[in-house]
Amino acid sequence: MKYLKEELTKLIDRSKSKKDLHEKLERGELEFIMVTLIHEGILKYEDYLRLKKEYEQRNKHIQAIRITSPRSFGETWAEEHIRSILPELESTKGTGAKGEYDLVYKNGKKPIKLEVKAGRAIDRTKHHVPYHERALVSTDKAGLFDMNFQQMKPTCFDAIIMIGVWTDKIRYWFMSSKEIKKNKYFSVGQHRGNKGYEGQMHIKTENITDFEKYEITPNEIFEKIKKLSSR
């Protein structure tokens, strides 16, 4: 929304109703503003269509970012998203997995247990602003984000799929349980009294380049899983 607001602000300054329109811009009434600017002859219809298309492209994943419940986002949405692009994976809900891993691949020599975690790329400096209003586009180099992937139990799964959601892009990192255990960013003992080898990992502005070797496409995820299952 940041980029559209910047463009609309310049146009609103030329409007005879700029005070009212600036107030509506703060409330996010974008469609009303653009229609008003068209009627005033300030915004051409073809530019209106261009702005809408660019906005939609920059915000195609905004609905996922709007999910406020940690469980609905990190479990329900994340698992359903991975299964939608990798239908070969099966959910462990209702099985004996006991929440220790989320998905399983059974079509190889051995079953592969997979954990799925998701994080949002949102501006971490604006704690009291709703997620969708501080969500970052992937090209925003100035935005400071911190995706905290929690409750990881690498002794219970074979590999983990971590999902990073920007407004315009979804990125994936795939790590084996061994790679998680050895990674310097993996912090053990997340909660007091935890039993077992449980911890968390942050992927943020300052260290995301250290995870480049783990970043892959959905097709590459499946190839990695098949390789693990063939060993």
pLDDT, position 191 = 53
pLDDT, position 194 = 52
- Single pTM value for the model: 0.88
Residue 22 has pLDDT above 70, yes or no: yes
Residue 60 has pLDDT above 80, yes or no: yes
pLDDT, position 100 = 84
User: For 195-223, what is each residue's pLDDT tens digit?
Assistant: 557 899 999 999 999 999 999 999 999 99
Quick one: tokens of 229?
Answer: 């299952």
User: For 106-144, what is each residue's pLDDT tens digit?
Assistant: 987 899 999 999 999 999 999 889 999 899 999 998 899
Instruction: Work out the pLDDT band at 68, boundaries 50, 70, 90.
Output: very high
Burial (Cβ within 10 Å: 0-12, 13-18, ≥19) of residue 214: middle
pLDDT, position 2 = 79
Distances (CA, A) of 87 to 2, 36, 64, 80, 95: 35, 46, 20, 10, 18
Q: Which domains does the chain have, with CATH numbers?
A: 2-58 (no CATH), 62-229 (3.40.1350)
Pairing of strands 186-188, 159-165: unpaired
Residue 80 has pLDDT above 80, yes or no: yes
